[in-house]
Amino acid sequence: METELIAILGLQWGDEGKGKVINALKNEYEIGVRFQGGANAGHTVYKGEDKIILHQIPSAILCTEKEALITCGCVLDLEALINEIEELKKRNINPEGRLFIDERTPLVFDFHKEEDVLENEKKGKIGTTGKGIGPAYRDLIDRKQIKIGEFKNKDFAYRKFKNLWNWASEVIGSRFGRPVKPLDEVFEKHFSLFEKIKDFLTDGIIFLKEKEKQGKRILFEGAQGALLDILLGTYPYVTSSHTITGGILLSTGVPPWRIRRIIGVMKCYTTRVGEGPFPTEEKSEIGEILREKGQEFGATTGRPRRCGWLDLPLLKYAIRITGTTELVITKLDVLSGFKKVKVCTEYELEGRKIEFPPALSDELYRVKPVYKEFEGFEPDEKDKNLRKFLDFIEKETGTKITYISASKGEEIKKVS
């Protein structure tokens, strides 16, 4: 019998609570896979009172009987990875023998982070996390990157690294008038980091093929969210990876028809970190209340998140581009206390009503949200007003809500 392959993806601009859902559904898979992004992600998971933030390692690692794979769709920051491993070990969670990294995975070097930070100051417009994500993926597309497995041959890696370092020092030198750290220093640093984690390397494509054959259930853990996808997100205010289901196919070799359960995670309101269009943003007191009650501060950078009401045009779009088959709605407790709760049902653009977002960010900046008001509710499934709110979302999106979450803790509730 074929095993079930599951994807858990964010349907907004990240921070939907994917980490929590992945943890709550822990009986439904044996292997967790990260297929895109890097240390820009921050998956917050609570184990009792203990708050753990994972950046690059799949959350599956927290269950000591599970295995975790980082695929080549990611860009790997070795220094950050080693810190994360140390954090886990402090909690008696040992990743050895359970963590695997595809040898094809490209790396994030110090100069990628440097360039990311400098570029962001210069243009000041994307508001990136400063983790080197954009430059690392650019160098991959430009065919200059180094695959982590290439470090197995030090001389070969050095020659390739030299080429990349030359390029980086020209870019940073000419654009920002700054020197980068010396070639040999940076190379040796990354080589010794590599030596610490080389036992985790594997061929990710064969790994997954074998596990599938053994009947293991596999979960693909999305990072960021559909609206941050490099191709279909709110470009250029996006991250540089493929955050949607297509991203899984690109970096795992898993046949498309094998992924039949695609769980889309959404908050019952909307947040965004960094710049870019956000039609339902509340810059007033309401935004402030959502931020405080929802503790909406970046897990990676600590930046305050922009907050606003739920946006159905964007949600419908995200469901479409991810192929979401079921919805999980999180943070319902944050809306309790509001007398009225608003949901954007469509937009007005140049006098026309539209129910799908326009293709271009420039236009998304100009839409006016049209709202429907709901009576306030308690985060309790028996609350009639909550039921109305949930029923409306199901009807509008044509997608079933299978779980809701209404607290910071570990649990999520199955919706009957």
User: Which one, 221 or 346, has the nearer CB to ligand IMP?
Assistant: 221
- Binding segment for Mg ion among 9-17, 91-99, 341-349, 372-380 (CB under 5 A)? 9-17
Q: Catalytic residue positions?
A: 15, 43
- Which residues, 6 or more positions from 189, have their beta carbon under 8 angstroms from its beta carbon? 110
Asked if residue 202 binds ligand IMP (CB under 6 A), the reply is no
Asked if residue 412 binds ligand IMP (CB under 6 A), the reply is no
- Binding segment for ligand IMP among 9-17, 44-52, 64-72, 86-94 (CB under 6 A)? 9-17
If you count them, how many residues does the chain have?
416
Asked if residue 59 binds ligand IMP (CB under 6 A), the reply is no
- Binding segment for Mg ion among 7-15, 28-36, 165-173, 254-262 (CB under 5 A)? 7-15
- In angstroms, give the least distance from the CB of 223 to ligand IMP: 6
Asked if residue 71 binds ligand IMP (CB under 6 A), the reply is no
> Is there a contact between 267 and 10 (Cβ–Cβ < 8 Å)?
no
User: Which one, 31 or 41, has the nearer CB to ligand IMP?
Assistant: 41
Asked if residue 15 binds Mg ion (CB under 5 A), the reply is yes
- In angstroms, give the least distance from the CB of 42 to Mg ion: 4
User: Which one, 212 or 275, has the nearer CB to ligand IMP?
Assistant: 275
H or E element: which one contains 349?
Answer: strand 340-349
Give CA separation, 60 vs 34, 119, 326, in Å.
Answer: 10, 34, 21
Choosing from 58, 106, 204, 274, the residue that interacts with ligand IMP (CB under 6 A) is: 274
Binding-site residue total for ligand IMP (CB under 6 A)? 21
Q: Which amino acid is at 208?
A: L
At which residue do the structure tokens 């028809």 appear?
Answer: 257
> Is there a contact between 306 and 234 (Cβ–Cβ < 8 Å)?
no
Choosing from 21, 78, 273, 319, the residue that interacts with ligand IMP (CB under 6 A) is: 273
Choosing from 32, 95, 134, 135, the residue that interacts with ligand IMP (CB under 6 A) is: 134
Asked if residue 299 binds Mg ion (CB under 5 A), the reply is yes
Choosing from 37, 42, 225, 308, the residue that interacts with Mg ion (CB under 5 A) is: 42
Number of H helices, E strands in the chain: 13, 17
DSSP designation for 398: T
Three-state secondary structure call for residue 388: helix
- In angstroms, give the least distance from the CB of 15 to Mg ion: 4
Q: Which amino acid is at 214?
A: Q
Pairing type for strands 340-349 and 43-47 reads unpaired
Q: What residue number has its CB nearest to ligand IMP?
A: 274
Choosing from 72, 146, 228, 263, the residue that interacts with ligand IMP (CB under 6 A) is: 228
> Is there a contact between 85 and 98 (Cβ–Cβ < 8 Å)?
no
Asked if residue 129 binds ligand IMP (CB under 6 A), the reply is yes
* C-alpha–C-alpha distance, residues 152 and 35, integer Å: 22
At which residue do the structure tokens 């309101």 appear?
Answer: 269
- Exposure b/e, 142-173, CB count within 10 A at least 16 = b: eeebbbbbbbeeeeebbebbeebbeebbebbe
Cis peptide before 277 (omega within 30 of 0): no
Q: Which does 134 bind (CB under 5 to 8 A by kind): Mg ion, ligand IMP, none?
A: ligand IMP
Residues in touch with ligand IMP (CB under 6 A)? 13-15, 40-42, 126-129, 131, 133-134, 223-224, 228, 237, 239-240, 273-274
